Amino acid sequence: MNGWTTQQSFVALLVLATAAFVWLVIPLVGPIIWAIVVAMLFAPLNRRLVRAMPRRKSLAATLTLLVIIACLVLPAVLLGVALVREVGALLAGLRSGNFAAADVLARVRSALPQWLLDMIGPSALTDLDTARQWISTNSASQLQGLARRVFDFGQSAFGVIVQIGVLLYLAFFFLRDGERIMAHLRRVAPIDAERGGALLERFISVVHATIKGSLIVAAVQGTVGGIIFWAIGIHAALLWGVAMAFMSLLPAVGTGIIWVPTAIYLLATGSIWQGVVLVFCGLFVIGMVDNLLRPMLVGRDARMPDYIVFVATLGGLHLFGVNGLIIGPAIAGLFLSAWELHIASVRRARVGSGASEEGAE
């Protein structure tokens, strides 16, 4: 009885210490998650460097970290600074009244056929001053909310530096000691070693492939879309490019939610060649990026179904904010991997029982 009480006390202490540690690191959950993702994405490069210098794992991890800084951190910082400036300039234009909503509505009205104007009513799109004020006010309020989030994030330079520093610091150790950490996780997993190892490997494969494919495709589609918007003279092309990158993470929505309404507006307001170019590039350039890159980056076997990615991404965004872009698909990957492993185990058990019955006969 005394031994059982002691064991219960130790388990309670273990649970309490684990809960306290989780509570302690919650403020840094974003950098921790992104450090894991970055280490997973650049693990192949780190392994090549380790093979080239087998006794210098720390140097290999440091070189990999320098590549991460050059390829990811610096471009992200520069993009963030440029995006803050563009949002600020757009917001200032709305506040000063330099948003020609009345002209836009007048051009739309003049481009619409008479039967459509008769259908929507004679008063539609006529009170242009009221419409201009309504659009400007609502656009300004929406952009103010966006700008407030962006500027609040950018105001604490020290906080941003700390988070980036934590990300890079943890990424270094995940790269250097990744194999040892994985071996330890296999040992302490609350399931048998064979099943735990298979689950962990499958989970890493699915999450690595899905996240790598999603992030790279999003970056390429956002970049291409922003360049196209800039080329045809769309204002705030950088902002629209970033929006397309985020939308491309949602399989059922995609970048079309940005460029399709823009193309319709261009065609309706008489900017025919710009609208035609945007439709062509949207279908055969932006759209084809996903069809060409994702199969090469993800592959058929490791790819999660699009509807699972869609639901997991939306749920992750709702629960965890921007970090949900990673947490959602990761949870979905664990869910699918666990069920695949369970189904495979059930099938093996059935085959084994069938063979035993045949032998007994």
- If one compares 354 and 181, the residue with the highest pLDDT of the two is 181
Do 212 and 330 fall within a single domain? yes
Task: Indicate whether 153 pLDDT > 50.
Answer: no
168 and 212 assigned to the same domain: no
Tell me whether residue 9 is in a domain: no
Of the candidate ranges 4-13, 227-236, 289-298, 349-358, the one whose mean pLDDT is the lowest: 349-358
Q: Tell me: do 141 and 237 sit in the same domain.
A: no
Percent of the chain predicted with pLDDT > 70: 70
With respect to residue 11, please indicate whether it lies within any of the assigned structural domains.
no
Same-domain check for residues 184 and 195 = no
Which of 188, 206, 221 represents a domain boundary (last residue)?
188
Whether residue 200 sits in one domain with residue 69 = no
- pLDDT above 50 (res 155): no
Per-residue confidence (pLDDT) for residue 30, from 0 to 100: 82
Query: Are residues 158 and 219 both part of a single domain?
Result: no
- Confirm whether 315 is domain-assigned: yes
Report the 10 Å Cβ neighbour count for 255.
26
Same domain, 217 and 162: no
Same domain, 119 and 130: yes
Give the domain range for residue 309: 191-346
Kindly report the average pLDDT of the chain as a whole number: 76
Number of compact structural domains in the chain = 2
The single residue listed with the structure tokens 């006529």 is 126
Asked whether residue 121 is assigned to any structural domain, the reply reads yes
Whether residues 313 and 213 fall in one domain: yes
Residue 159 is encoded by which pair of tokens? 């906080």
The whole-angstrom distance between residue 312's C-alpha and the CA centroid of its chain comes to: 11
42-80 residue pLDDT tens: 888 999 999 998 888 899 999 999 999 998 888 888 887
Task: Note if the pTM is more than 0.85.
Answer: no
- For residue 275, what are the CA distances in angstroms to 136, 221, 254, 286? 24, 18, 19, 15
Are 156 and 184 members of one domain? yes
* Max Cα-Cα span within the chain: 90
In a domain, 2, yes or no: no
Shared domain for 216 and 181, answered yes or no, is no
Residue 128 has a pLDDT of 46
Tell me the per-residue pLDDT of 200-218, one tens digit each, with 9 for 90 and over: 777 777 777 777 778 888 8
**Final residue in a domain of this structure, among 126, 153, 188:** 188
Which of 83-92, 111-120, 329-338 is the most confident on average?
329-338
Residue 19 placed within a domain: no
The letter for the amino acid at 335 is F
Residue 120, both tokens: 């929507």
The gap from C-alpha 105 to its chain's centroid, in whole angstroms, comes to 35
Please say which residue of 137, 159, 188 terminates a domain.
Answer: 188
Write out the two tokens for 220.
């390429």
Are residues 148 and 217 located together in one domain of the fold? Answer: no
Residue 38 lies in a domain: yes
For tokens 């890159």, the residue is: 293
The reply to whether 12 falls in a domain is: no
Residue 142 structure tokens: 């929406």
